[in-house]
A and B are shown apart, each in its own frame.
Chain A
Amino acid sequence: MKRKYMKALSVLAALSLTISLTACGGNNSDNSASSGNSGAANDGTKKIQIKVYAQHFDEDTAKPFDYAVEELKKEMPNVEIVLDEAVQDGYQKLKTYAATGNMPDIYETDWITLQTFAKSKNVELLDSYPETADFKSKLNTGLESRLTAPDGHVYAFPYTGIEFQLIYYNKDIFQKAGIQTPIKTVDQLADAAKKLSAAGYTPMAIFAKEKWITTAFYAGLVTREDAKGFGDLEAGKPTALPTAFVTAAEQMKKLQEAGLFDANATNTNYDQASSQFYSGKAAMFINGQWEIYSSTEKLGDKVDWMYTPAKDEATYESSKGFINGAGSPGGFSVSPSSKNKETAVKVASFLAQKYSEYKYTVLGSPIVSVKVDKPMTGEVPPMMKRIADEVLPNVKSYATAVNNVQIKNAIDDNTQNILVSGFTVKKFTDNVNRILAKENK
């Protein structure tokens, strides 16, 4: 009886082991297939499969990518792109791929994640590849920081230039409320906020549930005072906020107290904020220059953008060429574990260039990484034309980015806090200073 019982148990154990091993084996085979190896095409030729983890969820991301892939088919017919659609999860899925040794051949990511990947050797150093030298030769002026990281290495091929934030405004509402444009100073913007509130409008729609947008607004004010922007918080190793940053915090608080932002701003998401602006309930809206297409589509010639105001008109005029966008490395990177690394590097560089080409020729965006020698075919929105004619030729400098995650998070948290009544500038400086003292000691 006892032997029988033991036998049954052994069989059960063997079965469960077999099942689990089969499952593991199944996973492995799946992984190897998806990591992108050779496959046979319909015409019998061998194709190299390259798995690309890229954003592909709306017109702005899907169309340029699809265009680049179509162009790749002409240039490298032996390569087949397997798309792995990126999710907006702060690159958690990508980090999981890295942790499990399942990286796609090419992936799209930002500088914060690239720094972790560089330390853990999950990103291929592109420094010595001929494609990198070629990419550098085609790079638009002033965009070196998009390709070459602060540590001197190249980790990714970027497709956009340095993007920056704009204040969009509804010209009709401004006219109705009797507000003169352009607004040049913080005081003028505070007055405008009061007038707009009195007229029943939300002065500025801001999706401050996302902390980066309050940081972006603050960055605009800082850059008027200090051309280097947040970069000075790291490069200069200050243990307390420099004057420019305190001034900008005071200006932001002044604007909050003038009623520029909605009481529910810190709990407003993009959809809510943009719909306030597009439905004519809000007079202003803040977002990156990429919002130009949507705002033109929704508001036509009623909408325009303005520069971030400064403490006085003289500062406004002298600092107009300081751009609040900070260039940081990002774009298409290559995994060192790719079985077709050389091909993947070529493909990554090609995709980035063609992505730029689409954005320039079809969307009329001049904010692309490489020079494009084809003419624009699409209709260029007037606001984008203003950027091309008025801003880019007169850029004096781009702000520099802060790479330290703790400092960046401290600014994110506390700029969001400024939008809350009762949160003082002193609390702001105390909170950020605590982090600066710790990180820059």
Chain B
Amino acid sequence: MNRYLSNKKAIALFLLPALLIYSVVIIYPVLQTVYRSFFNWDGLSTATWNGISNYRDLLEDPLLITSLRNGLIFALVLAVFQIGLGTVLALACADPRIKGRKLLKTSYFIPVVLSVTVVCQLWIAMYDPANGLINRLFNLLHIPYQQNWLTSPTVSIIAIAFVNAWQFMGYQFSLLYAGVKSIPEQYMEAATIDGCSKWMAHRKVTIPLMKETYKFCLIVAITSGIGAFVQMLIMTSGGPGTSNYTLTYMIYRYAFMESNYGYACAVSVVLVALSLLATMIINKTFDRNEA
């Protein structure tokens, strides 16, 4: 018993520095954000107690609806593109019949290590309505579709989400590829002996066994979508108007452009709450299916 207690003390002592650092750099700022969300505060002057006014105002803020809608679209595009296409690519790269798999695997990951700024600038040029590659390609292929990709309030959010999905698909691909490779080959062999086609074997064996990987990938895609910001800032500055705003863009605007830090803190709390809620729903859904 004594030995056990002394071990506990030693564990606590070893954990203490990390806990201290964690408390200072994570717990304290989070609690401060929640606390400040109940104040009217410009970041410099003395804060005045505001009760739940910031949250009440937020409910009536038209930017909230725009931001939530955009976050959802962003998350959907990421989920479909990164996980859907990522799965196809992961299965293809795991197939020994495909030649040049190593090169493919590397090429999918290259965009991940590129600078977001560079990628955004590249796509701004590609999306240019007059001289951009996309519209020119449509012309070349005689597809009668020309679009103002980044200046149309309806299309631009999808166009921007696609850039994010394209750039970080390699990250999701690497997770999915690891998931595919972790499935013992005997399972596939058994399925093949039982007369399954390749597609059916993947549908009935590979994909169900990768549930945990999918769960993680989906959480990453959804929370990235809700919190997306950099691409909007660089590619359209949130415009035209506020059509490309997300919750994080709202925080940026209220905190840094309007010096309304109390309100921005309230938006941050909503952002964190939504991310947690999405994570919980995904976890519950996957766990229920498992049961």
Contact with B along A85-105 (1 / 0, CB 8 A): 000001010010011000000
Q: CB < 8 Å: which of B42, B128, B150, B240 contacts A116?
A: B42
State A434–B151 Cα separation when bound (angstroms). 24
In the complex, which of the residues A210, A263, A413 contacts B151, with contact meaning CB atoms closer than 8 Å? A263
- Compute how far the CA of A419 lies from the CA of B153 in the bound complex, rounded to whole angstroms: 11
Contact A264 B153 (CB under 8 A): no
Determine the main DSSP class of A at the interface with B. Answer: helix
* Segment touching A, from B169-177, B183-191, B256-264: B256-264
Contact between chains at A413 and B42 (CB < 8 Å)? no
**For A9, what are the chain B residues with a Cβ–Cβ distance below 8 Å?**
13
Q: Is A254 in contact with chain B by the CB < 8 A criterion?
A: no
In the assembled complex, A132 has its CB within 8 A of some CB on chain B: no
Are A92 and B256 neighbours in the complex by a CB distance under 8 Å? Answer: yes
**How far, in Å, is B255 (CB) from chain A's closest CB?**
10
Tell me which residues from 387 to 406 in chain A have a Cβ below 8 Å from any Cβ of chain B. Answer: 405-406
A92 CB → nearest B CB, Å: 6
Instruction: Please state if B241 and A414 are interface contacts (CB–CB under 8 Å).
Output: yes
CA A431 to CA B66, docked complex, whole Å = 13
B151 touches A116 (CB 8 A): no
Task: Tell me whether A266 is interfacial, beta carbon within 8 Å.
Answer: yes
CB-defined contacts of B111 to chain A, threshold 8 Å:
none
Q: Of B43, B62, B124, B130, which is within 8 A of A434 by CB?
A: B62
Report the stretch among A47-55, A117-125, A138-146, A171-179 that lies at the interface.
Answer: A117-125
Chain A interface residue count, Cβ-Cβ cutoff 8 angstroms = 35
The residues of A that contact B240 with a CB separation of less than 8 Å are: 266, 416-417, 419-420, 423
* Mask: chain B, 1-24; 1 = CB below 8 Å from A; 0 = not: 000001000100100010000000
Which chain B residue has the least Cβ–Cβ distance from A265?
B151
Query: What's the Cα separation between A354 and B258 when bound, in Å?
Result: 32
Is the CB of A409 closer than 8 A to any CB of chain B? Answer: yes
B241 engages A416 (CB within 8 Å): yes
Q: Which residues of A are found within 8 Å of B256, using beta-carbon distances?
A: 90, 92
The answer to whether B129 touches A95, judged by C-beta atoms less than 8 angstroms apart, is no
Bound complex: CA A145 to CA B130 (Å): 44
- A209 adjacent to B237 (CB under 8 Å): yes
Give the docked Cα–Cα distance between A414 and B259 (Å): 21
Task: Report whether B239 and A266 are in contact in the complex, using a CB–CB cutoff of 8 Å.
Answer: yes
Question: Quick check: B258 and A409 within 8 Å, CB to CB?
Answer: yes
Q: Mark B214-239, 1 if CB is under 8 A from A, else 0.
A: 00000000000000000000011101
Interchain nearest-CB distance for B111 vs A (Å): 22
Given contacts A90-B257, A264-B128, contact A116 B236 (CB under 8 A): no
Chain A residues closer than 8 Å to B42, beta-carbon distance:
116, 119-120
The yes or no answer to A2 lying at the interface (CB within 8 A) is: yes
Which residues in A have their C-beta under 8 angstroms from that of B148?
263-264
Q: A263-B129, A263-B148 are in contact. Are A120 and B241 (CB under 8 A)?
A: no
Residue on B with the closest CB to A269?
A: B237
Decide if B258 touches A122 in the complex (CB within 8 Å).
no
Q: Which residue of B lies closest to A13 (CB)?
A: B17
Q: How far is the CB of B178 from chain A (nearest CB, A)?
A: 37
Instruction: Give residues 122-161 of B contacting A (CB, 8 Å).
Output: 124, 128-130, 148, 150-153
The 6 A-B residue pairs with the shortest CB-CB distance in the complex, in nearest-first order: A120-B44, A417-B241, A120-B45, A266-B240, A119-B45, A413-B241
